[in-house]
Amino acid sequence: MATGTPLISAKGLTCTFGHGKKKFTAVNKVNYVINDEEIITIVGESGSGKTTLAKMMLALQKPAAGELLFSGKAITDKHEHWRKVQAVFQDPFASFNQFFTVRSQLLACFNLFTEKYTVDQKELMIDKSLRSVNLDPDAVKEKYPFELSGGQMQRLLIARIFLIRPKILIADEPTSMIDACSRASILDLLLDLKKELKMCIIFITHDIGLAHYVSDRVFVMCKGEIVENDHPDKVIKDPQHPYTKKLLDDIPVLHKDWLRPAK
């Protein structure tokens, strides 16, 4: 990917909410380039604009100014865009409509496809996607979301990605609502998925540990701006921006003093 157009490029991207006195700039003249098959992590506290940045990439939020290009082209057809750019959300419980079964939630994805599939083909594809996230199709297909555990639902969200096979996946705090032990397995699942589909993953998180573990590059966001954009080792060992320094300082880790000298 040394030459050619980057997968995603943003120039002067800005997003504001409200009018007049209440006007609030969530993302302020941001520039970035994301390449094919990269894993990017956007780190920042709540209100830093990281979720808004992601929503613009997902075409769920219109930018107020600036340009956002995918393989050199602006978003024209949203339907086509969502074939290529998909998301896994933070709260698996809120991500599914509790009135529909797992099967119908996954069948809903076929709305995106221009190809026509027969009912049997669809069922086979659904089964396959469920198996690839270690869910037993016979056990979960007829269940309703509230009958599943948080970890299972998060897997279901990932099964959806297996089915759609996008080029870009935006994962908004994909592991913050599930417990520590299943957290690692969900991450591995996402990374396997990345290998299989050769996609680019953009993680959004406030968990620097996660960012360090998986990403090729880390963006640190503060007050609507990207203040750091570098390799994770560099960001963690040699942070440039004062905000990054404070952030790293405030995270409790085992081998460093925090609040008071370590025991």
Partner 1 sequence: MRQFTLLFKNPSFLISFVVFFGLVLVGLLFPIFVHGSPVDRLGCPFEAPTAHFLLGTNEEGQDMFVRLLFGLRSSLYVGLFAGTIATVLGVVIGLIGGYKGGLLDNVLTMLTNLFIVIPSLVVLILISNSLGPKGRSLEVVSIIIGATCWAWTARAVRAQAQSLKMRDHVNLAKLNGYGTTSIILMQILPYTLSYVFMAFIIQMATGILEEAAISMMGLGPYDSVTLGFILNNAQKAEALVNGDWWSFIPAAVLVTLLQYSLFVMNTSMETIFNPRLRKEE
Partner 2 sequence: MAPILKIDNLAVHYKTRFGQQVHAVKGVSFELEQGKTFGIAGESGCGKSTLVNGLMALFMPPLFYTHGSVIIDGEDITKFDKERLRINILGKVISMIPQGALNSLNPTRKVKDFATDVMLNHHPEMNKKEIHELLRNRFALIGLDPRVLNNYPVELSGGMKQRVVIGISTLMDPKVVIADEPSSALDVSTQKSVIKMLMDLMDKGIIGSMIFITHELPLLYHVADDIAVMYEGKFVEVGKTDQIIFRPQHPYSRELMDAITKLSSEGERYDAKDKKGVVA
Instruction: Tell me the C-alpha distance between 258 and 177, whole Å.
Output: 25
Instruction: Tell me the C-alpha distance between 211 and 199, whole Å.
Output: 17
Q: Could you say whether residue 79 binds partner 1 (CB under 8 A)?
A: yes
Q: Which is nearer to partner 1, 112 or 236 (by Cβ)?
A: 112
Given partner 2, partner 1, none, residue 150, with its beta carbon under 5 to 8 Å by kind, binds partner 2
Q: Which is nearer to partner 1, 101 or 229 (by Cβ)?
A: 101
Instruction: Tell me the C-alpha distance between 175 and 183, whole Å.
Output: 6
Q: Which is nearer to partner 1, 43 or 58 (by Cβ)?
A: 58
Which residues between 43 and 72 bind partner 1 (CB under 8 A)?
58, 60
DSSP code string of 92-142: HHHHS-TTS-HHHHHHGGGGG-SS---HHHHHHHHHHHHHHTT--HHHHTT
Q: Could you say whether residue 139 binds partner 2 (CB under 8 A)?
A: no
Instruction: Tell me the C-alpha distance between 41 and 205, whole Å.
Output: 7
Q: Using CB atoms within 10 Å of the CB of residue 111, give its burial: 0 to 12 exposed, 13 to 18 middle, 19+ buried.
A: exposed
- What is the total count of residues that contact partner 2 (CB under 8 A)? 45
Beta carbon of residue 76, minimum distance to partner 2 (angstroms, whole number)? 27
Which residues between 196 and 255 bind partner 2 (CB under 8 A)?
206-214, 216-217, 231-233, 236, 246-248, 250-255
The only residue of 50, 103, 160, 183 in contact with partner 2, by rule CB under 8 A? 183
Beta carbon of residue 96, minimum distance to partner 1 (angstroms, whole number)? 6
**How far, CA to CA in Å, does 260 sit from each of 168, 208, 213, 248, 252?**
42, 21, 27, 16, 11
What three-state secondary structure class fits 62?
coil
- What is the total count of residues that contact partner 1 (CB under 8 A)? 20
The pattern of x and - marking residues 26 through 65 that bind partner 2 according to CB under 8 A reads -------x-xxxx------xx-------------------
Question: Distance between alpha carbon 120 and the CA centroid of its chain, in Å?
Answer: 31
Q: Which is nearer to partner 2, 160 or 217 (by Cβ)?
A: 217
Question: Distance between alpha carbon 129 and the CA centroid of its chain, in Å?
Answer: 19
Q: Could you say whether residue 192 binds partner 2 (CB under 8 A)?
A: no
230 phi/psi in degrees, rounded to 5? -160, 180
Alpha helices, H only, the chain: 50-57, 78-84, 92-95, 102-107, 119-132, 137-140, 150-164, 180-197, 208-214, 232-237, 242-250
Which residues between 85 and 124 bind partner 1 (CB under 8 A)?
86-87, 89-91, 94-97, 99-100, 108-109, 111-112
* Token pair recorded at residue 152: 């299972």
- Could you list the residues that contact partner 2 (CB under 8 A)? 1, 33, 35-38, 45-46, 150, 179-181, 183-184, 187, 191, 206-214, 216-217, 231-233, 236, 246-248, 250-255, 258-260, 262-263
- Could you list the residues that contact partner 1 (CB under 8 A)? 58, 60, 78-79, 82, 86-87, 89-91, 94-97, 99-100, 108-109, 111-112
